[in-house]
Structure 1
Amino acid sequence: MAVTQNIPTYADTHCHLGWFSNRKRVAHAIGVFAVTVTPQEFLSLRDELAGEKNVALAAGLHPWWVRDASDANALCGLLPNTRWVGEIGLDAAPRHSATWDAQLATFERICSVCAETSDPEAPKVLSIHAVRSASTVLDVLERTGAAERCRCVLHWFSGTTDELWRAVRLGYHFSLGEHSLATRRGREYARILPEERLLTETDLPEGENTPTTAEDVIASLERTITGIATARKSTPDEVRALVSRNAAALLN
């Protein structure tokens, strides 16, 4: 991924690029950590995006898509051969709690395989979903060794302050977007996080196969950059340069 060699002005470190109808045009304009929600989505995009130097395509299994052990089997079979992993994680919101046991078993297995197959010279990078489950997510990452052997990014983090600082002590990064900055907690976290842990994201487009343009994505990132700058009493130029450098260091 060229983001590590020639740092793009904009870096989207949690983007569902596969849901864009014009994803290649977006990929030509910015650096993208492109997460997927199922192994099948990853496989469907792998050949199409193979030549896109600005894209790190991640193999994922979003907790909303977890049903049984076969889902984990499919993803774990891909992990030895990919450095980028996501979206993975846990979601304990009421509407997803029925699959909690399957989510937990799946996430633990994925993290174990990531830890086992991460190259110390080029550690795996994990983009992690943690809704009402941050403590459990952190427990699993530590227990499996992924916390130590992989580079972990908490996407749209909404846990408690204690959980935030626990993750900071573990060396994790945090990808912030318009969704997180729309909340008081999100703005406070943007203010207090160590600057070297800050990343920007867009997360979900308006819907699957939408005509979202590169300009739309950049505009969203710019609003996020401005929001972070306001929270930190900095300038957009300073934040823009900072998060681009952070993304480059993460994905190197």
Structure 2
Amino acid sequence: MIDFHCHLDLYTGPREVVETCRSKNIYVLSVTTCPKAWYGTYELSKHCPRIRTALGLHPQLAHLRYQELELFDFLLTNTRYIGEIGLDGGKGFKKHWAKQLKVFRHILKKSSLSGGKIMSIHSRLSTKYVLEELTQIEGIPILHWFTGTSNQLKKAIEMGCWFSINPTMLNTKKGYELISKIPKDRILTETDGPFGKIKNKILYPWDVSIAIEKLSIIWKCSPLDTECILKNNLKSILNSNL
């Protein structure tokens, strides 16, 4: 199983979550919300070969943590994964748009100059602007929890974007319809735990099994075949030249 976007450090009892992931042999991309969180999050799972820690600065925290960009630059060579980054046009965050944009542009530029990174990107109510910023950027952009329009999805696919899909998305009509339009070879699974929930129940990395079951329905194949497709997709990203 693959959880390509979760916040291991923000679970209650994160070490237990890490050990369960290890025992279940789950591949996890553990994203961070600010550069200062990278050290502690990396320490949580540094002995787990299937867990990777991404370096991020969440757009909802950009106005509070932009001073950490210098630390971001310092840590950049420690990982090939960047996340969670992006833009957020939601209520309460749009007023900090200028700061969000400055932070996002800085991260994209530095990541691109470093040869390109695998990036897990937040685009809530801001897909149009995220896609504009990704033009001519080196790296692999993975749009986490995509909620844009069908036209924006088409553009993102044409640009070469990937998508990480969680059970919560597949629990909505819009999400289900959007996901059915994404090429099979551009999809990975995620949970966004502990923020991702179904019926107020927090999702854990092993709950990607729910997404696998629903993707198998969309793709009209068995869950085992779905797992094989996802595994090959992961290999494709990991074997990139970044």
**TM-score normalized by structure 1?**
0.84
Deviation at 1:155, TM superposition (A): 0.3
**Matched residue type, 1:16:** H
CA-CA distance at 1:26 after TM superposition: 3.3
Unaligned runs of 5+ in 1: 1-9
Partner AA of 2:170 in structure 1 = L
Q: Which structure would you say has the larger RCO, counting Cα contacts within 8 Å and 6 or more residues apart?
A: 1
Distance in 2 between residues matched to 1:217 and 1:43, nearest whole Å: 21
Where does residue 129 of structure 1 map in the other structure?
Answer: 122
Match of 2:47 in 1: 51
| Contact kept in structure 2, 1:86 and 1:127, CA below 8 Å | yes
Amino acid of the residue matched to residue 79 of structure 1? L
SS at 1:86's partner residue? strand
Aligned 1:88-99 pairs, distance under 5 A: 88-99=85-96
Identity %: 30
Partner of 1:74: 71
Partner of 2:140: 151
Candidates 194, 199, 205, aligned match of 1:217: 205
CA contact (8 A) 1:59 1:85 kept: yes
Matched, 1:186 2:175: yes
Which residue of 138, 143, 153 corresponds with 1:164?
A: 153
4+ aligned runs moved over 4 Å, structure 1:
none
Unaligned stretches of 5+ residues in structure 2: 197-201
Question: What is the alpha-carbon distance in structure 2 between the residues aligned to residue 244 and residue 168 of structure 1?
Answer: 20
* Match of residue 34 from structure 2: 38
Letter in 2 for 1:237: L
Give the whole-Å Cα distance in 2 for the aligned partners of 1:177 and 1:239: 14
The alpha-carbon deviation at position 41 of structure 1 amounts to 1.1
CA distance in 2, matches of 1:55, 1:163: 31
1:26 to 20, 23, 35: 20
**Partner SS, residue 168 of structure 2:** helix
CA offset at residue 206 of structure 1? 6.0
C-alpha RMSD of matched pairs (Å): 1.9
